[in-house]
Amino acid sequence: MNYDCIIVGGGPAGMAAAIYLRRGSKKVLLIERGLFGGQMLNTTEIENYPGYKSIMGGDLALSMSEQVEALETEVEYSEVVSVDLSGEEKIITTTNNEHRAKYVIFALGANPSKLNIQNEKEFSGRGVSYCATCDGAFYKDKTVAVVGGGNTALLDATYLSNIAKKVYIIHRRNEFRATDILVKRAKAISNIELLTPRCIQEINGDNKLREITLDNGSKIEVDGLFIAVGVRPNTELLKDKVELDEKGFVVVNNHKETNIENVYAIGDCTNTNLRQVITACSDGAIAAESILAR
């Protein structure tokens, strides 16, 4: 079936794009392989999305999806198995159908890299977090640890030092991958303590995280553990189709255009500096308005 635009991915970026395009009277197909919401569904509370003092991630996802449905957006729940972006008419093939459109927007998302240690999954959302700017406010005057040695980890620790009473940075090497200025800044902050070279072997608690065990056998009492060891974009589908950077994120310009004409990418799968619900929605609006202006 032919559409004006096909959106692949039903997270906040994809839903925002659908809302803007439908309000612009475009015929849109939104393809989602699971549930609407993306990473929002893994977030207990969101306190930094304007308009809500606090809202559960699942509730915000439901509210957005209801708005998408109210605009009579066509939706297909299936997996995209291949894409052909070479012609003027783009072809998106799912497990159920083959669709064609002049424009395609990829909102494929990304997943935080895991430590893959005992109890990590069990305590996710109950002390274990992968986003300091999302969840840091819950740890005011508490003790937290940040795992990682790159820029994100050091920035997270610096950010958390203004909220928590104590911040540990745990890194498996003595040297950091982060830029020198970030390392020097973190070392100069009185309530940050570096634990290197150390790895986390185990995390424990009751109804929420209470303690982490390091590879030297020492135990540290913490209220929160922020894992900042990288993010993996879900861009396998686009390999050799559009330009990706060295980490696999889609390279886009200010209009969210890829290097292929009429093909856009938005949200966490792109080479963006901030991966939040609000920036994902912004990306969706920018891409949609770019299409509507043509």
pLDDT in tens, 57-98: 889 999 999 999 999 999 999 999 999 999 999 999 999 899
Closest CA to 288 of 84, 3, 74, 23: 23
Q: b vs e for 159-188, b when ≥16 Cβ sit within 10 Å of the residue's Cβ? A: bbbebbebbbbbbeeeebebeeebbebbee
Active site residues: 131, 134-135
Is it the case that residue 45 has pLDDT exceeding 80?
no
- At the fourth CATH level, the homologous superfamily of domain 2-111+231-292 is FAD/NAD(P)-binding domain (3.50.50.60)
Which option is the CATH number for 114-227: 3.20.20.80, 3.40.50.720, 1.10.20.10, 3.50.50.60?
Answer: 3.50.50.60
- pLDDT value for 44: 66
Task: Report the C-alpha gap between 256 and 281 in whole angstroms.
Answer: 12
Q: Are 2-111+231-292 and 114-227 in the same CATH fold? A: yes
> What's the predicted TM-score (pTM) here?
0.78
List the chain domain ranges: 2-111+231-292, 114-227
- pLDDT one-digit tens code per residue, 139-159: 999 999 999 998 889 989 999
Task: Report the C-alpha gap between 159 and 191 in whole angstroms.
Answer: 12
pLDDT mean across residues, the chain: 94
- pLDDT one-digit tens code per residue, 110-143: 988 899 898 998 998 899 999 888 889 999 999 9
In 3-state terms the chain splits into helix, strand, coil percentages (rounded to 5) of 25, 30, 45
Q: What is the dihedral of CA 122, 125, 127, 131, to 10 degrees?
A: 130
